[in-house]
Amino acid sequence: MLQAQKVSSRAAVRRLRHTATQVGRWQQQRGLATPSEPYDAVIIGGGPGGYVAAIKAAQHGLRTACIEKRGSLGGTCLNVGCIPSKAMLNNSHIYHQTKHDLKRRGIDVSDVQLNLPQMLKAKEDAVTGLTKGIEVLFKQNKVDYIKGTASFVSPTKLSVKLNDGGETEVDAKNIIIATGSEVAPFPGGSIQIDEEQIVSSTGALALQKVPEKMVVIGGGIIGLEMGSVWSRLGAQVTVVEFLGGIGGAGIDEEIAKQFQRSLSKQGLKFMLNTKVLSAEKKDGKVYIKTEAAKGGKEDTLEADVVLVAVGRRPYTEGLNLEAAGVEVDNRGRIVIDDQFNTSVKGIKCIGDVTFGPMLAHKAEEEGIAAVEYISKGHGHVNYHAIPSVVYTHPEVAWVGKTEQELKAAGVQYKVGKFPFAANSRAKTNLDTEGTVKFITEKETDRVLGVHIIGPNAGEMIAEAVLAVEYGASAEDIARTCHAHPTLSEAFKEAAMSAYDKPIHF
């Protein structure tokens, strides 16, 4: 029988009948796992790490459930992060290109107007299609989708407050925590996000009109992508960054400087080495007080909208980790070992809620590896081969080590570079801004890092990731035939430059 808290057996049966009819929920002929028949694996969280882990667990023959409270699968990434932002980035780029770039290509277009409600609808349509697609994948792979909020009762038992009302308990032999992250508040609490005038990335994706002036606090990936969107649509955007460069953790300093020059030419303004003190709403505007990062005279900026993009933090609210004995560190991250085990046997953890970069694709790899440890006893994630991409224009992408990291470590290295301005496909596309940069070990020619700024960088970086994963040399890549004319020839010639000399530059 289905165990339920604070409800009668008759009510529990009625609830089970009701929920069994919903798409993607428990199958009526199977029902819920009971204490005598626990799930082999239960994943808490339906984001990129969680839903991938659930599907892979089911594919490995494990009786699997995924508990997600949002009401739609895909987590932050699909609902209010990666996917909707890429829709806005792509469509705002098309709008901007239509207004400013088509004439030189021999295309005359007049009376180009922004239809922001339709652009926002296109974003939502993309999100809905993808999130519903995951529900279909759950059904195809026989993953039980439980819509509700999970909290630990014990290391093997979860209490679930169902979105449709009522509560139930779920037992599992193995539990994977994949609850992701949330927007980090502004340090010190002097700026409160209202998602209208002072917004997080979530609010920045849903603004109902183009602000005249926007101030972005934080020059990392999220701030630069959202700043680019609204700049293209007509806003005057100023990015305020505490550090001396943009792009966030992992970006090569040389590439970051080139990136800033490119965005500056597009109209974005930058205030680096600058500390934000506070933001006050007054008379329909927001006034942001700043000073030099090392201290100094205060300054005030005026904006219609302020985007707070100072990072994210692990999300564990309501999990009741204490009941299971799961350890967290002083930054709120769940502590794990190299096999994703928490401090409690049978409970693993992946994604943003634990160590490492907060990237959807990193969480996906961890989800598969964690399941493989459960089903096979071994798994694999190479953290040296996790790419990062900034989806602005030009795009920026990188994998592996930066020059500054290698200098600090005392590693002897070589650099090979090739500009897109010397690439035939880029020239025919009239899109020549950027460079491919290889960093190789001086003695062995092994690829240590690749950094790209330019067209299609986000797709091209996959070849670099493969090279790092397999320990390839620059010569290996340079001697591999690349189709002509393609942007990827710039990748090949940068590799040639690292170990010998390029042909076209």
**Residues acting as catalytic residues:** 484
Structure tokens at 457: 């960088």
Structure tokens at 288: 């942001």
Return d(Cα 302, Cα 284) in angstroms, integer.
11
Residue 381 neighbours by CB distance under 10 Å? 18
From the number of C-beta atoms within 10 Å of its C-beta (0-12, 13-18, 19+), residue 486 rates as middle
Residues 6 or more apart whose CB falls under 8 angstroms from that of 296 comprise: none
Torsion of the alpha carbons at 498, 499, 503 and 504, rounded to the nearest 10: 0
Return d(Cα 230, Cα 239) in angstroms, integer.
12
Return d(Cα 74, Cα 46) in angstroms, integer.
6
Return d(Cα 225, Cα 270) in angstroms, integer.
14
On whether the CB atoms of residues 441 and 411 are closer than 8 A, the answer is: yes
First to last CA, the chain: 73
Torsion of the alpha carbons at 260, 262, 265 and 268, rounded to the nearest 10: -40
